[in-house]
Structures are given as structure tokens and as C-alpha cells.
Structure 1
Amino acid sequence: MTQPIDLASALASFSEAWSPRIVTTVNDYDIRLARFAGEHVWHVHTDTDEFFLVLDGSIDIGLREDGGERTVTLRRGEVFVVPRGVFHKPSSSAGAAVLLVEPSGTLSVGDEHDEVPANVDTTTGHPLPSRVPA
């Protein structure tokens, strides 16, 4: 990356939910933007935490831990880290824009997951279009 990237322009460059775009890379970590709409899939990253920052809207993250389930709700400007080894399921009933931080190459549906619905892209992230204005 040799030029600043405007996150609003980057978000405007795609509309697909559950199909993250790689904005940049810091050391061995991808900074990804994603649109959330509806439900993702229960999944787990066995070797890495997952960082969520809600840029717009709100999201729910279902968590399976300590033998039970709970839900964390994040609104615009709030962050949350799902620890490695915790099954989780992001969702957003009204839609949201989210910034994610994960090691490069991390699969969007984790290392283990339930059946992936057709609305969820199984990917390690897509590049942004080459010309996103700052």
C-alpha cells in the first residue's frame, strides 16, 4: 500500500454480504472489510483470535463457551475479540459494515464449521478493486 485508502470508498466498491475484502496487510495480518446481512455460520478458528470493529449498523455474535451459548451485541464504534477455539456465529438483522483483523490466509468459515449456507462466501478474502479513491 503506497496511498491512503478511504474506508467509505472501499465499502462502496462492493455490496456482497459475507464476502470480505482485504484492505491492507499489517505484518502477517489482513485488515478486512465485510458487509454483514442475515446469518453467517457457526464456526471456530482453532489457532487465532478474531477481531471485530463495527463501522456502521450493529451485529450479534453468538458464542458457544463453557457448555452454553450467549450473544454479544456490538453497535457502531464497538469492538470485540472472539478468542481462538470458541465457536461463534456472527449475524446482523439490519445489515452492518465491519472491519476484521485476522492472520493472512484465515478462512472466513474457520477451521471447523456447520454446513455453509449459499449466502456465505468461503474465502480467505478478496482484493479491493485496484482503484479505490482516498
Structure 2
Amino acid sequence: MKIIRAKEFKAQRAWGALDIANMNGITTRLHWTDEPYKWHINDGEEVFVVLDGCVEMRYKEQGLEKSTLLNVGDIFYASVGTEHVAHPQGEARILVIEVEGSV
């Protein structure tokens, strides 16, 4: 059993993570960041939940770049092949559920 106080978590570097669970190859991790990630495509599907802060999520659909602002409680689902990059607006804490070892 674990109790995690997400608002209290702060990593030593941007996108540092606290491993919460690995359920049959699907990982759940809490990330802290204050810097953008990099454009990437995950090895599988990804669920991205903003727990604290605000994140601009940029993504590509049919080669066109789009973006949306994600606030606390918002969820971004990246299906297989979705190219995307997260740009936090200040500090953010994000719950990410994805295939183990994914980018």
C-alpha cells in the first residue's frame, strides 16, 4: 500500500519521476517538471493527467501542429503514433500511465 501526496513531490530535475506501480508492464509514474519535454511518440498508448499546475500540450494531427491547455484534472490521451510534447507553464505535477520503458 502507498499513499502519495502529489503536491509535495518535487524531483531533483525536470521530468524526474516517482514510480508508483508497474501492473503487468504498464507503469504509473508521478512526474514533476518546470521545463518542456521533447517531441516524441510513445511505444504504446499514454494517459497524461495534470495533478498540479498547467501544461500546454502540443501534438500533431495529420502533420499539423495543434495545442491545448491542460489544467488540474485534465487528461490527455495519446493513442499509438500520436506525436506530442508537454510544455508546463511554471511547475507541474503529472501522472503518466504508459507501457514500461516507453519514451
- For normalisation by structure 2, the TM-score amounts to 0.87
Corresponding residue SS for 2:55: strand
Residue 131 of structure 1 corresponds to none
> Offset of 1:82 from its aligned partner?
1.2
Residue 22 of structure 1 corresponds to 19
> Offset of 1:13 from its aligned partner?
6.2
* Residue 80 of structure 1, aligned match among 69, 76, 79: 76
* Residue 93 of structure 2, aligned match among 97, 102, 111: 97
Gap change, CA 1:64 and 1:37, over 3 Å in 2:
same
Residue 33 of structure 2 corresponds to 36
The one-letter code sitting in structure 2 at the alignment partner of 1:18 is W
Residues in 2 aligned to 1:42 and 1:62: alpha-carbon distance in whole angstroms = 9
Unaligned runs of 5+ in 2: none
Query: After superposition, what is the alpha-carbon deviation per residue over 1:18-50, rounded to whole angstroms, capped at 9, x for unaligned?
Result: 1222111122211101012121111112x4111
Q: Which has the higher strand share?
A: 2
Identity rate, percent: 25
Residues in 2 aligned to 1:9 and 1:71: alpha-carbon distance in whole angstroms = 25
Larger Rg: 1
- For normalisation by structure 1, the TM-score amounts to 0.68
The one-letter code sitting in structure 2 at the alignment partner of 1:39 is P
